[in-house]
Structure 1
Amino acid sequence: MDFPIQFSYTILDAARMLERMEKAKGLNSQYASLYRGRSKEDLGVVAPYLFIYQEGTSFANWLAEEGWGDFWGIYFYSTAPSSELHLHFRKFLLVQTEEGEELYFRFYDPRVLRIFLPTCNEAQLREFFGPVSYFMMEDEDPTQAIIFYLKEGQLGSYTLPVSNVETITNKDEVAETEQ
């Protein structure tokens, strides 16, 4: 499967990848753990990692061939720098239950994100998307990719056969596809 260059970021889940995270880091040095401080020390081997990459690189090819269908993470497009995205996504790592208990929120697991986004109201969607134009991840059927985007504050989505993912060339086409 080829990913278009517009999916220039991914958050990968070391807990899903296990030792393959080391291979990812070896293939692409442009990454940062979303965990900091004590969490990074204690949970680094299961942490989410933000990667920036370009299509056609060894990393992109390996990720597409080895990771798709195993729910290693989410892909997204943004024009924001990685430092801004790092800060943005760190805000969502912990959530608080109604009882006040803090829990880790695994939004970077596509099985979680594709269920979470449709439950959000407009304000929550705007906050979560922030500088992100659209997200892509495996659908329940990993032969399909699901794309989520915001249009006028409303969540839009559609699925594509994995072989058609490369047909998306920019964020405007994402919005036009739903019309």
Structure 2
Amino acid sequence: MTEETEPPLITSAAFAEGLDRLAASGRLFVAIDGADASGVADKAREMGGRVAVCLYRAEEDPDLAAVAPYLFAVDGAALRWVRERLAEDPAFCIFVLADTNLEGLRRHFRRFLVVQSPAGTKMNFRFFDPRVLTTYLESCEPRELDDFYGPATEYGVPTEDGLGALFFKRREEGPPRRRSDVLLKLRPAQMRAFARATEERFVDRTATFLQMQFPDALEEPRPLLRVIVADQIARARGHGFTAELEIVTYVISAWVLGAKFDEEFPAVREKLASPVLTTGDKAAWLAEWTQTLLRTLQEK
């Protein structure tokens, strides 16, 4: 019988008033991906260098400025702006509580902009995306947390309503140690965790798309719809589709024509099995064929 160990992270929630207090303390920061959110670079310029800094060296490549991640020191005005953007996109930013200044936190975060895969490949690390951050923190070992937290005491991800945040704090802070300039190397288990999280988000986005396009999808309980979508994504990949657009095209046809349409319609079986057509060609044909079939059925 193995002894259970406590998880290395403690979570706590801060709602609207809690975030107000944290902003007033001078210890609250947000990191935002300018590539995913418009106007972030303009807002950083408007607030000035004492409040906002680019995590990239944008001065060396001005074209990067519009798509770079930014770090903001959060006061009352900045928090009001963040809340406005969170109302539109709950994944707009991550929160950070830190016992350092803006430049100190920027220097710390720059160490993690590029990381190394288990195979040695260099990759951009989008830790400033709350979905990526949550997956990473939950897959870290205590020593990795010690390195990633550095001067940060807590990391926060916005709640779904955009009004508050869920904060992650280390259960025990590791002793200070000399920071290495070597790239952070992700472990295979962490890569698998990212792959699972990415797949879950893809299933969620596809299910949401179906609900937006087809009224009968809204009638399905969300958990059941996710299972249906995941099964059709797997079937699409079984036919060689890998690009998201190709897979979603297949899922749409399956929703309209039936879960086993790829077996029940001879024309579909033939096209999907073709050794000559590319998967892009197959997806384009499938979309057109499905639309034509639906128009024919509606005219009868």
TM over 0.5: yes
Partner of 1:6: 22
**2: distance between equivalents of 1:131 and 1:69?**
30
> 120-129 vs 95-104, which deviates more?
95-104
**2: distance between equivalents of 1:74 and 1:135?**
7
Aligned length: 150
Partner of 2:151: 131
* Preserved CA contact (<8 Å) 2:86 2:92: yes
- Alpha-carbon deviation of 1:68? 4.6
Partner of 1:66: 85
* Preserved CA contact (<8 Å) 2:58 2:65: no
- Alpha-carbon deviation of 1:5? 3.8
1:92-171 equivalences in 2 (<5 Å): 92-139=112-159, 141-142=160-161, 145-153=165-173
- Alpha-carbon deviation of 1:126? 0.5
Higher CA-based Rg: 2
**1: distance between equivalents of 2:153 and 2:86?**
23
1:27-66 deviation digits (Å, cap 9, x = unpaired): x221111112687545322111111121x32x22121122
**2: distance between equivalents of 1:109 and 1:128?**
15
Normalised to the residue count of structure 2, the TM-score between the two structures is 0.45
- Alpha-carbon deviation of 1:91? 0.4
* Preserved CA contact (<8 Å) 1:69 1:138: no
Q: Which runs of 5+ in 2 are unaligned?
A: 1-15, 175-300
Q: Which runs of 5+ in 1 are unaligned?
A: 155-179
Task: Name whichever structure is richer in helix by fraction.
Answer: 2
Going from structure 1 to structure 2, the CA distance change for 1:102 and 1:68 (only over 3 Å counts) comes to: farther
Q: Kindly indicate whether structure 1 or structure 2 has the higher relative contact order, using CA contacts under 8 Å at least 6 residues apart.
A: 1
Task: Name whichever structure is richer in strand by fraction.
Answer: 1
* Preserved CA contact (<8 Å) 2:54 2:70: yes
**1: distance between equivalents of 2:60 and 2:115?**
15
1:83-106 deviation digits (Å, cap 9, x = unpaired): 211110000000111232211000
Matched, 1:82 2:98: no
3-state secondary structure, aligned to 1:86: helix
Matched, 1:31 2:18: no
